């Protein structure tokens, strides 16, 4: 599951970069008209000359199969070139590919190497994936202390999944002393970030008065927000409420 989340993150980042640069879409020309579609061959030429931005875009195109045919081996090759130039995004992507064994042979050691380089530059996706590796003992001995340390770094950088993992650790007393108030604090951050699972769990904490003042009103408010995002448990919970008079 963690490897799937890692690759999902990289696909999202790649999509954002490709869309930002308008690859494969008509561009606005001076005067408001539309110019010709950008030619991917231009990015190939620039990438081969060592242009970092072009290497990232080209890797993203191969990863998604956007404009060019999907080719994870080529995606890994171009991410590798960009990673060698110090790009934290490329290092994270390459680490995720080594973690999932897609486009390259699965290698946890290389995954850790590249993720640690990106994490040292403050990349929250890399920090999250390192936390998940140590939490699950994926190719390394499970280590809650290391997992919590990486999750905390990513959570402080606004990474929602890490905020949820940190909230869970404080709620369960896993790797840290159990602290409902801290669990609620991190859960609230993730909920404010729009995470439907966090919104539902925060609602339950209000319902039980765990780490927050007990409030049926706040509980229902957060659970309704979660249900609005089609989160199944929240929808089921709301169906159990007595009908309004």
Q: What is the DSSP string of 188-228?
A: HHHHHTT-HHHHHHHHHHHHHTSSS---HHHHHHHHHHHHH
CA distance 44 to 99: 26
| pLDDT at 25 exceeding the cut of 70 | no
Q: How far apart, in whole angstroms, are the C-alpha atoms of residue 212 and residue 162?
A: 21
**Rounded distance, CA 132 to CA 140, Å?**
11
Domains of the chain with bracketed CATH: 1-123 (1.25.40.10), 158-234 (1.25.40.10)
**Residue range 106-158, pLDDT digits in tens:** 999 999 999 999 999 999 999 999 999 999 998 899 999 999 999 999 999 99
Listed range (47-56, 62-71, 76-85, 231-240) with the worst mean pLDDT: 62-71
What pLDDT does 17 receive? 47
Express each pLDDT in 154-205 by its tens digit: 999 999 999 999 999 999 999 999 999 999 999 999 999 999 999 999 999 9
pTM over 0.85: no
pLDDT class of 1 with cuts at 50, 70, 90: very low
First CA to last CA distance, the chain = 44
**Residue 42: predicted pLDDT:** 85
Confidence of residue 93 (pLDDT cuts 50, 70, 90): very high
d(CA 38, CA 15): 16
């Amino acid at each position: 599951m963690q490897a799937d989340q890692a690759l999902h993150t990289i696909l999202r980042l790649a999509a954002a970069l490709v869309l930002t640069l308008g690859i494969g879409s008509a561009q606005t020309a001076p005067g408001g008209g539309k110019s010709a579609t950008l030619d991917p061959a231009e990015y190939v030429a620039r990438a081969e000359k060592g242009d970092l931005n072009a290497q990232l875009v080209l890797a993203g195109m191969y990863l998604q199969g956007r404009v060019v045919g999907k080719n994870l081996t080529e995606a890994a090759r171009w991410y590798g070139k960009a990673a060698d130039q110090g790009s934290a995004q490329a290092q994270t992507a390459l680490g995720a590919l080594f973690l999932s064994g897609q486009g390259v042979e699965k290698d946890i050691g290389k995954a850790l190497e590249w993720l640690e380089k990106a994490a040292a530059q403050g990349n929250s996706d890399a920090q999250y994936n390192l936390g998940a590796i140590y939490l699950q003992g994926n190719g390394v001995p499970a280590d809650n202390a290391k997992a919590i340390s990486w999750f905390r770094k990513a959570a402080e950088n606004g990474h929602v999944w890490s905020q949820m993992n940190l909230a869970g650790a404080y709620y369960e007393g896993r790797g840290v002393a159990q602290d409902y108030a801290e669990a609620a604090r991190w859960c609230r951050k993730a909920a404010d970030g729009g995470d439907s699972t966090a919104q539902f769990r925060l609602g339950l904490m209000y319902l039980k008065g765990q780490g927050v003042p007990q409030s049926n009103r706040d509980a229902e408010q957060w659970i309704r927000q979660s249900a609005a995002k089609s989160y199944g448990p929240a929808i089921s919970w709301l169906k159990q409420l007595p009908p309004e008079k």
